Amino acid sequence: MDKIVSLSRRRGFVFPSSEIYGGLGSTYDYGHYGVLLKNNIRSLWFEAMVQERDDIVALDSAIILNPKVWEASGHVATFTDPLIDCRTCKLRFRADQLEQSSCGRKPSKHPGETPDCDLTEARQFNLMFETHVGALEDESSIAYLRPETAQGIFINFKNVLQLARRKPPFGIAQIGKSFRNEITPGNFLFRVREFEQMEMEYFVPPAEAERWYRYWIDERFNWYVKYGIRESQLRKREHSAEERSHYSSGTTDIEYLYPIGWSELEGVANRGDFDLRQHTEHSGTKLEFVGDDGERYTPYVIEPAVSIERIFVALLVDGYDEEVVAERERTVLRLHPAVAPVKAAILPLIPRNADMVEKARGLYDELRRRHIVEYDDGGQIGRRYRRQDEIGTPFAFTIDDQTLDDDTVTVRDRDSLAQERLPIAGVRAWLEEALERPWRTPKA
């Protein structure tokens, strides 16, 4: 993980937030390449979940909802972690994670293992961030920053059913920020307090729920494989009955082998009719499906839920590679071209040569109209290639002496380092074709 954190910082993907003020635990700011990578993750998810489907529509609900939403959903009462305080070292630990935590005074021991440890009983701590709406700061004005985007979808079920004229099975997809006051955040972006969720609630006739649950586990698993994550580093883990939420009749985590071990990348749950029933009861608005023939039922919900942050880390970990080429070490991010922040670099071999610069800038202007590409004339060509390798740019077009004679350029492949020559006029078509090709990582 240290190598990923250091590359992210060195190349301007991610910075610790509020750094000049000493930071704020586990919050991060995204630099240029981080923004581009996040944009790609977001749009590839949207493409698969909405654009390419007839049965799913998009939604963007508010972050601050009527607090009654969180009472109905159960979050006010039960969205809690059990916490234990140590009266000696004053640190706070998750009761279910004592074995992974370190004692504040003797980090080689776990809390409770030294004679001086003085632990309290476990107490429930709500993970929602509280705020106040309006001018008054009293009980009546308490509101919460949403801890998940899903509830915004459930409360709009009726709107979508009527206005988008849908009938089950159909889904509503949403991407947006969620907030949780995590007690033990960490492991870089893996567990942060502010993250961007991508959730889809798929409403189905109850009798079909199991089938759709299995369908979405496979769909989501295959999406990761399609975008180049090694299948050997992914697995599906079905929760046992004890581990599941009380309303869930099935939950499967798609796990990735992060440097911290196998951990949840995405969760797929069969939530039954719990959410729609809760909101029907608390709001008095019937959230059910009524067919033309009078058939009437509360749909079951299948939910695939993930954060951009967990995908971001999985992609960087999976793509990170080091190798020695011609006795020089290089670090390369082997990202799927569709995911890569920058699709191609355009490099004049000799930056002082005005003709090369002119040709390179011409090609850059042509390609940037359609793609995120980068022009770079700073420093030796080897250094420029290495910079592009580290940000995962799959292709580099180099303008050299020969270009001035015959209008051809070299294209260098990030993974194989193979070079071939192309007519400059054909570069755009070549790039577009190359970006569409299936890609598999050469990493073992």
d(CA 271, CA 153): 14
| Least distance to ligand ATP, CB of residue 70, Å | 14
Out of 8, 61, 270, 307, point to the residue binding ligand ATP (CB under 6 A): 307
How distant is the alpha carbon of residue 306 from its chain centre? 6
Query: Are residues 153 and 199 in contact, defined by beta-carbon separation less than 8 angstroms?
Result: yes
**Of the ranges 164-172, 213-221, 302-310, 433-441, which one interacts with ligand ATP (CB under 6 A)?**
302-310
Q: Is 75 in the site for ligand ATP (CB under 6 A)?
A: no
Binding mask 138-157 for ligand ATP (x = CB under 6 A): ----------x---------
CA dist 122 and 112 (Å) reads: 13
Which of 275, 309, 318, 390 touches ligand ATP (CB under 6 A)?
309
In the complex, least distance from residue 167 CB atom to ligand ATP, rounded to whole angstroms: 27
- Binding-site member from 59, 84, 306, 315 for ligand ATP (CB under 6 A): 306
Q: Which residues contact 81 (CB under 8 A, 6 or more apart)?
A: 94, 95, 96, 124, 125, 127, 183
Residue 304 as a binder of ligand ATP (CB under 6 A): the answer is no
Residue nearest to ligand ATP as judged by C-beta position: 307
Q: Taking CB under 6 A as the rule, does residue 182 contact ligand ATP?
A: yes
Q: What is the DSSP string of 307-370?
A: EHHHHHHHHHHHHEEEEEETTEEEEEE---TTT-S-SEEEEESSTT-HHHHHHHHHHHHHHHTT
Nearer to ligand ATP, 94 or 214 (CB): 94
Output 85 or 182, the one with its CB closest to ligand ATP: 182
- Does the protein bind ligand ATP through residue 73 (CB under 6 A)? no
- CB atoms closer than 10 angstroms to residue 257: 17
* In the complex, minimum distance from the CB of residue 197 to ligand ATP, in angstroms, rounded to a whole number: 5
Instruction: Kindly identify the residues of this chain, within the stretch 317-376, that bind ligand ATP according to CB under 6 A.
Output: none
Q: Which of 11, 75, 180, 412 binds ligand ATP (CB under 6 A)?
A: 180
**Residue 66 parent element (H or E):** none
Tell whether residue 229 is a contact of ligand ATP (CB under 6 A). Answer: no
Total site size for ligand ATP, rule CB under 6 A: 15
341 vs 339: CA distance, rounded Å:
6
User: Please, are residues 285 and 260 in contact by the beta-carbon 8 Å criterion?
Assistant: no
Chain residues 188-227 in contact with ligand ATP, contact rule CB under 6 A: 191-192, 195, 197
Residue 184 found at the interface with ligand ATP (CB under 6 A):
no
- Note whether 264 binds ligand ATP by CB under 6 A: yes
**Residue carrying the six token digits 């050469």:** 442
Using the contact rule CB under 6 A, the part of the chain among 99-107, 261-269, 322-330, 402-410 near ligand ATP is 261-269
Segment contacting ligand ATP by CB under 6 A, of 31-39, 238-246, 304-312, 405-413:
304-312
Burial class (CB in 10 A: 0-12, 13-18, 19+), 420: exposed
Take residue 410 and report the two structure tokens written for it.
Answer: 């070299």
Angstrom CA distances, 422 to 25, 338, 343, stand at 49, 22, 17
Least Cβ distance, residue 12 to ligand ATP (angstroms): 21
Q: Is 117 in the site for ligand ATP (CB under 6 A)?
A: no
How many C-beta atoms surround the C-beta of residue 169 within 10 A? 19
Per this entry, what is the length of the chain? 444
> Which residues in this chain contact ligand ATP in the complex, by CB under 6 A?
148, 180, 182, 191-192, 195, 197, 264, 266-267, 305-307, 309-310
